[in-house]
Amino acid sequence: MRRSLCLVALAGITASSVCLSAATGWSHPGGDAGGMRYTPAAEITPENVDRLVPVWTHRTGHMQAPEDARERSKFEVTPILVEDRLVLCTPFNVIIALDPATGVEIWRHDPKIDMEQRPANGYICRGVAYWRDSQAPPDSKCAVRIYTGTNDHRVIAVDLADGKRCEDFGSGGEVVIEPEVTLEWPGEYQITSSPVVVGDTVIVGSAISDNMSVKAPRGTVRAFDARSGAPRWAFDPVPRDAAAAEAQGWHGEALPVEGHANVWAPMSVDETRGLVFLPTSSPSPDFYGGLRPGDNRYADSVVALDAATGAVRWAFQTVHHDVWDYDIAAQPLLATIKVEGAARDVVIQPTKMGLIFTLDRDTGLPVIPVEERPVPQDGVAGEALSPTQPFPVRPRPLSDSTITPEEAWGFTPFDRRACARQIESARRDGLYTPPSLQGSIEFPFTAGGVNWGSAAFDPATNRLYVNTSSMMHRITLVPRAETDEEWHPLPYGEHAPMNGAPYAMQRVTVMSPLGIPCNPPPWGLLHAIDMESGEIAWESVLGTTEEIAPLGFAMHTGTPTSGGPLVTAGGLVFISATMDYYLRAFDAKTGAELWQGKLPAGGQANPMSYMYEGRQYVVIAAGGHKEMETRKGDYVIAYALPRAGEAGPSLVSRILDRPGRWFYVKAGLELILLAAIGWGIRWLVRRRRARRRRDFMEQSTGD
């Protein structure tokens, strides 16, 4: 039936969308082209979720890579389900197709990327893109294609049927992207997020090294013909000449010579409107903007482009003249929400600051009002900060942004005093405190608020679900005369040269001597937001200290997260992302944590879900993350409810697969062991005393 539905629906883009919805359950890494991360599957509910069991596990084999490459890897992929294939990529861009019901490998394609490079952002592949050619005979070679971008900046097309190259795409099935400037080293320029396809156009962004130099590769977004790979258009978010500046509305602003404002995070697509939505990053370098005066519009912005031509339809900037690395890391989420009882097509943009912007999809104008509010000033010499920044009036900020020395946190008084001294010695004026020579508190930190995992939206309840991280950075600018031109590691941070700027930059996470964040917990939260009222419906602590505290003690403090949520029609929010190794399920209505599945490695990826042959599956990649220092692995794990005759969760798993349970089991075993040792010592002492008494009696009798 699935196959016949697809064959019928080949008359154009609209029909192809029907084919997708009938034949698949998760056709894009974000669920749909607009990244709602919602599934209509409803077999798993709050009433039965505690019966979930792992039904298959696939090992990708990428842990067999050279040790240096393996250590730099991040397994952040979300698979897609298209035409009876579950398709994913490894951190090293190997594309794998699996049977959705069993996890058995159908085929794999290895593009053999350069494993000697040192990618600035680590080895990452967040997903692949799918396209059916409406002009090709249904069963012809490469009628259905899978596209991926690589860590060595190629775009590759393979046949969904067998994983072999589509030789008519580019040269031998690939297009090599040549950056406009010569790279300083192999790995400075990558493609880490999935391409997107609109009509017959494939569009890709790029991930670029930050803070090494003012002279950096450009952040050009590129489009190619989906069949031939021929270039269609290119869009540079930073204008390089007066004509480009006028076209982009940069009137009165000086033009930067270098820099990027690239699009490294996932993009979104509205096929009906023919639009692609870009989440752009900050210009280079991140922490000093004196060489790029003005707002730097189109940087740190949601930019809507005509997907056929690359022309700008509209743009909305979330941060003016960014000097905090507060780029847009989250995929723009396309949804239809209810506002004052009326349906509105919107773009919902979560940010690292914990702010949620809601924009009209046709115009980019705020649907929920945005105010320009004064922010801290007095940057370093040569800096020209924006006097105001945009703040949505609702929902309230999801992340804390102010702290005093009295609020410093720690396990012990010693910890707290050390944290208080760090906070007291830094400049701390709240959100948008400019970087300084003495060191400034950036709160939330550059990986805080909402990151690349983005959000999930339930169209039935009008609720948005989003996870945030809460920690602090201390940003210090170092005058050029006092530093060199090299990058250096620092405890919990880095010294980056920002060559070409008058300052280098030091960025360190503010931690106690025991390695605990200096700001009070929770350090990770899951939020539910009513998009009509803008009110927070509930907030739940996300994650425990089980993997980072001594002896595995699981304090319910939350942890920083990398990854995002999935919401189901069955009334559940699934999420992993934390520094303890669990896939969790929350009640979408109340925020109660209902279920945990223990993972063999860090789950720093977005889960996905689909119905296949009458059964709902929830799938997560578990492979760890370089910066979060979670356990590495190459696991793809599927969970489902047991069928008739299949075993449900075991008693052991019910006991151990909960945060903290293993701590108490270990503690109990340790007590038993100590008791056994104590009993053994007591027995030996008593036996020795008895032997001495017997020897004394025998000696007395002999005498």
**Domain limits, the chain:** 2-659, 660-703
Any alpha helices (H) in 378-457, and if so which ranges?
A: 413-424
Cis bond upstream, residue 444 (ω within 30): yes
Query: Measured over all CA atoms, what is the biggest interatomic distance in the chain, rounded to whole angstroms?
Result: 119
Residue 17 phi/psi, 5° resolution?
-65, -35
d(CA 267, CA 363): 18
**DSSP helix/strand/coil, 416:** helix
Contact 513, 415 (CB under 8 A): yes
Contact 344, 336 (CB under 8 A): yes
Contact 285, 210 (CB under 8 A): yes
User: Please, what's the b/e burial string for 357-393 (b: 16 or more CB within 10 A of its CB; e: otherwise)?
Assistant: bbbebbebebbbebeeeebbeebbeebebbeebbbbe
CB atoms within 10 A of CB 696: 10
With 0-12 CB in 10 A as exposed, 13-18 as middle and 19+ as buried, what is 53? middle
Contact 406, 520 (CB under 8 A): no
Any alpha helices (H) in 534-634, and if so which ranges?
A: none
Angle at 19 between CA 36 and CA 27, to 5 degrees: 35
Angle at 322 between CA 120 and CA 397, to 5 degrees: 105
Which helix (DSSP H) or strand (DSSP E) does residue 440 occupy?
A: strand 440-442
**DSSP helix/strand/coil, 353:** coil
Dihedral sign for Cα 278, 284, 289, 292, please.
negative
- Residue 567 makes CB contacts below 8 A (sequence gap 6+) with 37, 38, 39, 456, 457, 458, 463, 465, 573, 574, 588
Q: Token digits for 472?
A: 């602090």
Which regions in the chain score pLDDT beneath 70? 1-24, 247-258, 550, 651-671, 673-675, 678, 695-703
What is the pairing mode between strands 440-442 and 356-360? unpaired
Q: Token digits for 182?
A: 């010569």
- Rg over alpha carbons for the chain, rounded to the nearest Å, is 27
Contact 24, 34 (CB under 8 A): no
Angle at 46 between CA 461 and CA 462, to 5 degrees: 10
Give the pLDDT of residue 13: 33
**DSSP helix/strand/coil, 55:** strand
CB atoms within 10 A of CB 514: 13
d(CA 197, CA 269): 8
For residue 229, what are the CA distances in angstroms to 166, 177, 201, 202, 211?
10, 11, 9, 8, 32
**DSSP helix/strand/coil, 590:** coil
Task: Find tokens 């210009």 and name the residue.
Answer: 283
Please tell me the chain's helix, strand, coil percentages from 3-state DSSP, rounded to the nearest 5: 15, 30, 55
For residue 422, what are the CA distances in angstroms to 470, 491, 519?
17, 14, 11
d(CA 513, CA 519): 13
Contact 257, 344 (CB under 8 A): no
d(CA 239, CA 255): 7
| Residues found in the chain | 703
Catalytic residues: 325
| CATH 1.10.730.10 applies to domain 2-659 | no
